[in-house]
Chains A and B, each alone.
Chain A
Amino acid sequence: MAILYNMFKLLIIGQIARVGYFSTCQAIFLRPAGRPPGPHLWRHRPADIATIVRRALPCVCGPGERSRIQVKEKILWLSIAICENVCYCQTNDVIRYWGKLLMIKQKKSRTVSIRITKEHESMLKKLQGVSEMSQTDVLLKGLEVLGGYVGAESEKASLGEKLKELERAALEHAEEIREIRKKEDVIRELVKELKDVDRIIDKHQCEPSALIQILLEIQSEKRWLSKPTLIWVAERLGVPLSRVMHIATFYKAFSLEPHGRHLAQVCLGTACHVRGAQQLLNKVSMALGIRPGETDSEMKFTLKTVNCLGCCALGPVVMIDEDYYSDPSVDELKQIADDLE
């Protein structure tokens, strides 16, 4: 029953997270043997999923069984079929496996049906809140539990093997989807970035004389100048890329590497220098755990030195984001850093 509960939990988490768990679940159980895994089960409409399920089912449950699948929409039922101590679960408001869904006929099989009440629902919501897992994690977790279960308790080796194989395929599938998503994300990011750049360029009426101003605005918005950005700016303004690069490397304000979310600038101007700017720099470096010019691995802070912040009367000063601090101690600095997100 504990397994049942786990499955239930995982399924529901997947459900409520409105994740691909359901559809990926199809992939676990229903991907036709011999067909390469792919995103073809993704993003299908519920009705299509039903068709796919129907088409795919024979390779799991043998011919003649397909008529047992009923598709109904918007029914909140969860059906879990247990066969040979292996749970076959389907759920959702879309598809139900009715009655004896005995794909592999065994004696000890039984079917459990649970109606989801309001209480269930709120409990499940809570569960999801606790788990805070991403879609893929929910999927993988589910597989882990399943796999472990199969390995430990299945009497029928072939079934275990089959499941293992399916699990492997599902993992590959998930990995592939992740890759595709990653690529998609990169492209989407790039498009978004260039759109932002476009907005800034348009604001300056595409004037080549506004080149420095445009780069400054991009820098302050994006915290760095990426290669595509520089190429794009050169392209749009009709100036040679070499000139854009000349500017981007000449001025201190520009960075060709991503900055952290927060910027700490230690003044090394004369007034601060004679009042111990170097010691302050050491302190900041110690508090943030990075050296001047570096960004920490979590992309939280970048530490830079500057020539004057215009607060010379209170030197030595460090500016963290928009705020100035006059000679703070290491502990104060740590506090400031911790308070920032």
Chain B
Amino acid sequence: MLLELNNIFKWVTQGGNRVFLLKHLDLAVEQGDFLSVMGPSGSGKSTLLHVLGMLDDFNEGEYYFQGEPVHGFRDKQRARFQKEHIGFVFQAYHLIDELTVYENIETPLLYQKVSSSERKALVADMLDRFGIVGKKDLFPAQLSGGQQQLVGVARALIGKPRLLLADEPTGNLNSRQSREIMELFQELNAEGTTIIQATHSETNAAYGSRTLHLLDGSWTSTPEP
């Protein structure tokens, strides 16, 4: 078991009322899973991924990651887990505009005390693998959306995370670019990376090994273990 959510609740208080973003949510993800989370806009997909990615708190429930109780972690521990085990891919790419492609991909390694020569080798591998060696000195603004997202994926993978979280990774891409990214995900999954992606698209969801549907912060069908 890679991670497990037990009865997770997350809410915000608005005008004295609780508005539930996540409600009574259970989830179990095995090592090597490729899970697609579907649901209409506003159903809580991003919120769920942020909770899974330890970027956001939840109000009730338990979250175990590799058997460790994330709900009992201090900030520092959470941050360490996050940086060691989790990679993010965003719909809006979220590359750092002031850094080149090369530097963007390298950045996570800077926070993991990887030696400079090792960093060089890892980034070079990654550039090579994604076929963007020729773009390494360009800035994000000089790339197309698909290329930016490739860089985004490369950056998410550089730290060799166990879990890749992708929030509508192809939301801003055309269908050809989408297909490329999805095929890449399939490959990564085949190599052992656990992936959870949020998506609107049935086609994209089909790349996963299973699909869960979210509505108003709850599953519409009970998740299979």
A and B together in one complex: no
